[in-house]
Structure 1
């Protein structure tokens, strides 16, 4: 009879899946590595063949989350089609869609207290997401006179902050709004773009 803890074809990924379930239930800091091992049906000792501790497991969950997030944003951007404005708005909406569909990954990425910059693989995956939003901002920025044009990094950071705020307050937080989160985000982005002189009929 095979020893418990060694029957998984991919123990590392089984532990990630267990962590995702526990994060969704208890939050990224609300579970132990032993609980993840139990849920994955392996011995605690087997866990340490892949992860030195809980934080290392959370980092892997976050890294996979950024990979998924980056893929969703890249798909939404679609190389700037059908227009720079439509592509930019689609990328912004992808933030909300990701938070809704992948709550465990989202919490590991943004609510775990893990520092992106202290983990090279995590930083690289996060930079991919940032790059897509900056690319979308750069494409749209060409419609702004050079003297009034914010740097793409600033442009994208503003929209990232707006998207994150809507998610935290009205999707994951306790705040309530008479408007759907999607409508709040779209209206907020519209106000921001109008402030830059980017009217939909002109782009």
Structure 2
């Protein structure tokens, strides 16, 4: 792969893109910085001008993933006719993100890199997860205060359900084929949860 053009500032992103490809192929711990540099078409020494090590490289991939994730969630949440529609849209956006950006998804949620690693990563992760909490807060206003779960718990339940559907059925893992589309599994699971809270009519 030709190396020309990296002196214009493209090398850092080229390394992130290389890491994302390797993460998809081998997982977040299945490659070395030397492999990342080779995939990007540069010498191993060049990597250290931008990243101290593999974890920092993965953290940058995660940060970029959270940027995309936050934008998708905010778009899904906005301009919906009801709090329920907005809430359900964020769940579908979670699934869509995991499918469209598998390398980012793994870097964010399966690499072991803490969102506290850098202020920038923490800020964008907080923005993304804040959309889920806002959706839960708006929807839970329809629940009597004495029966209302904390918004953080509410959103964590939906996050866990979405993550479980992604992990088991939306990423093509061997031996986990479902007779139902992942979208249907998530929608029905959210429906059962919301009925239990009294937010959806039992006959709906």
What TM-score range do you get, normalising by the shorter chain? over 0.9
In structure 1, what is the equivalent of residue 44 of structure 2?
Answer: 44
Counting only pairs closer than 5 Å after superposition, residues 28-107 of structure 1 correspond to structure 2 as 28-78=28-78, 81-107=80-106
Counting only pairs closer than 5 Å after superposition, residues 1-203 of structure 1 correspond to structure 2 as 7-8=5-6, 9=8, 10-78=10-78, 81-172=80-171, 173-174=173-174, 175-199=176-200
CA–CA separation in structure 1 for the residues paired with 2:118 and 2:186: 31
Q: Matched residue pairs, number? A: 198
Contact 2:65 2:105 in 1 (8 A): yes
Structure 1 gaps of 5+ residues are: none
CA–CA separation in structure 1 for the residues paired with 2:120 and 2:31: 23
Contact 1:18 1:36 in 2 (8 A): yes
Q: Deviations over 1:139-161 (max 9, x none)?
A: 11111111111111111011000
Moved runs in structure 1, 4+ residues, more than 4 A?
none
Taking only aligned residues, the RMSD between alpha carbons, in angstroms, comes to 1.7
| CA drift at 1:117 | 2.4
| CA drift at 1:85 | 0.4
CA–CA separation in structure 1 for the residues paired with 2:22 and 2:53: 15
Length-normalised TM-score, structure 2: 0.92
Structure 2 gaps of 5+ residues are: none
CA–CA separation in structure 2 for the residues paired with 1:131 and 1:116: 14
| CA drift at 1:83 | 0.8
User: Are the structure 2 counterparts of residues 86 and 200 from structure 1 closer, same or farther at C-alpha, using a change threshold of 3 Å?
Assistant: farther
Length-normalised TM-score, structure 1: 0.92
Contact 1:6 1:42 in 2 (8 A): no
| CA drift at 1:200 | 5.8
| CA drift at 1:129 | 1.1
User: Are the structure 2 counterparts of residues 200 and 72 from structure 1 closer, same or farther at C-alpha, using a change threshold of 3 Å?
Assistant: farther
